[in-house]
Amino acid sequence: MEPREKAFKIESEKIGFDLKHRQTIKHNIGKYFRSVEKGVNYFSDLDAAKNTASSIKDYVVNNLDHLLLKFEKNAKANNMEVLWAKTAEDVIKQVLAITERHKVKAVVKTKSMVSEELELNKILEENNIKSLETDLGEFIVQLAGERPYHILTPAMHKSKEDIAKLFSEKFGTAADASVEELTKYVRKLLREQFVQADMGITGANFLIADSGSIALTENEGNGLMTVSWPETQIVIAGFEKIIPELTDLDLFWPLLSVMGTGQKLTAYNSILSGPRADDENDGPTKVYVILFDGGRSNVFAEKDHNLALKCIRCGACLNYCPVYQNIGGFTYDTVYSGPIGSVLSMYLDGSEDTGHLNFASSLCGKCTDVCPVEIPLHKLLLLNRKKLVEQGNAGFIETKGYKYFAKYMGSRRKLEKIKSKWKNRAMKSFGKKAWGKRRAPLRFPKESFSKRYMNNRKDS
């Protein structure tokens, strides 16, 4: 077993029985469920909305080359500089060259999973550039020295008591400070940083091909501040974030919002269409957009799997996944966790040994059911499993175990031919591990149920 797979199993076992973790996640996901339950009613026909969004994203996946070039042409016409990056190293080189060119000493960032793929904060700090997360959840995990726990709600694993304790340790605030007191403290601290920063770095919720602009959606106004204050701006986005037209936001913004948080629309929605004009007061004087591959073309090259590129990162599949609900985000040990993370990670840069995550699913199909762009996630998990088995990159159970299972379970005659003592021996040896130590031991009786039933019938 690969070291990462082994660690995943050990950590899953541990965290799955951590009651405090379970309570926090249950509480936070419970709030999300109640909110989404209400939110879906904002759509008169949610299925039709999902269907339309899915068709648009199908069109995007099938026309990526053409749409990306269209975006590039229009973004350049908007005076933005567009750069292409194949690997994380390419992006980092480009970012560091820009920081050098503009003599950047301090950066403010908005929440961006792509920057997590790059470990950008760490790289900037190593190059003596102060980098500060401005989304409250990201700020909390940065302060704690952690990576985001969830693609949309990075600090979902922390209770308000955990956060008060963390702030007290780092800033000396009261250990029992209220949520209002803590947010007020952060707001003041961030305001000062926004003013001092030389550069803003954001991701993109959507790259709009026909207008050559960037759509950002958020709840705290930090994104708007990040694109308003600093003189220089970098947008780093995975190339799959493209949508064809500005008017598509009419559908994608509410859909992302409802499935992401249950809100009709998030509080701040911004469209960045280039540097500030001569008659404008706010905004950067220079805007760079980096279109990042980072293994996405590996996904694109796989027929069927490329449907995973439709993802708009709403996080719904994570929240509804019974596996995620029990083992949480960190256990996956990947940037993207939950069902979409399991599907994507083995194709993304540096994640070759994450194939085992495709087997960490009950295949209940809830992820597919809730996905706003109708990605057949449970089928993609199965396709990945098939691929791994064909490559010989799966364990004994997947490569051989299921063949025996099908052979014997498919035939009562064959199954009953094996004496109970052999079945019990098999369970004691290799079956014990799969059965797990938390279940009551499995004992096969001497006679099968059907034999006993038939014998009882004869007797009566």
- For ligand SF4, the binding residues (CB under 6 A) are 311-317, 340, 370-373, 375, 377
DSSP string, 59-85: HHHHTHHHHHHHHHHHHHHTT-EEEEE
| Dihedrals phi, psi of 148, to nearest 5 degrees | -60, 140
Q: How far is the CB of 232 from ligand SF4 (least distance, A)?
A: 31
CB of 338 to ligand SF4, least distance (A): 7
- CA proximity to 283, closest of 355, 229, 347, 208: 229
- Minimal distance in Å, beta carbon 255 to ligand SF4? 9
In whole angstroms, what is the distance from residue 33 CA to residue 277 CA? Answer: 43
DSSP 199: E
The amino acid sitting at 56 is I
Please report how close the Cβ of residue 158 comes to ligand SF4 at its closest, in angstroms.
21
Calculate ∠ Cα 7-149-220, nearest 5°: 170
Cβ 431 to ligand SF4, closest distance in Å?
34
CA distance 353 to 346: 7
- Two structure tokens written together for 421: 């003592």
DSSP type of residue 277: P
Q: Is residue 334 within 8 Å of 387, Cβ to Cβ?
A: no
Q: Which is nearer to ligand SF4, 163 or 375 (CB)?
A: 375
In angstroms, what is the minimal distance from the CB of 244 to ligand SF4? 17
The H or E element containing residue 207 is strand 206-208
Nearer to ligand SF4, 199 or 375 (CB): 375
Residue (95 or 377) nearer to ligand SF4, CB: 377
Q: How far is the CB of 327 from ligand SF4 (least distance, A)?
A: 17
What one-letter code names the amino acid at 422?
A: W
> What gap in Å lies between CA 285 and CA 233, rounded to an integer?
8
Cβ-based neighbour number of residue 2 at 10 Å = 14
Considering beta carbons, is residue 85 or 317 the nearer one to ligand SF4? Answer: 317
Among residues 286 and 310, whose Cβ is nearest to ligand SF4?
310
Element (H, E) at 342: helix 338-345
Nearer residue to ligand SF4 within complex by CB, 349 or 374: 374
Count of CB atoms within 10 A of residue 75's CB? 26
Please give the sequence-ordered ranges of beta strands (E in DSSP) within 255-327, or none if there are none.
268-272, 286-292
CB of 314 to ligand SF4, least distance (A): 4
Tokens of 99: 């920081």
Which amino acid does the sequence have at 351? S
Cβ 180 to ligand SF4 shortest distance, Å: 31
Give the Cα separation of 139 and 132 in Å (integer). 7
DSSP assignments along 204-247, one per residue: -SEEETTTTEEEEEESSSHHHHHHHSSSEEEEEEEGGGEES-GG
CB of 47 to ligand SF4, least distance (A): 15
Cβ–Cβ < 8 Å for 25, 158 = no
Longest alpha-carbon distance in the chain: 98
Is the CB of residue 249 less than 8 Å from the CB of residue 215? yes
Tokens standing for residue 91: 């992006």
Minimum CB–partner distance for residue 310 and ligand SF4 (Å): 7
- Separation CA 93–CA 97 (nearest Å): 6
Measured between alpha carbons, how far is 189 from 180 in angstroms, rounded to an integer? 14
Using the minimum distance from each CB to ligand SF4, give the nearer residue, 110 or 342: 342
Min dist. Cβ of residue 214 to ligand SF4 (A): 19
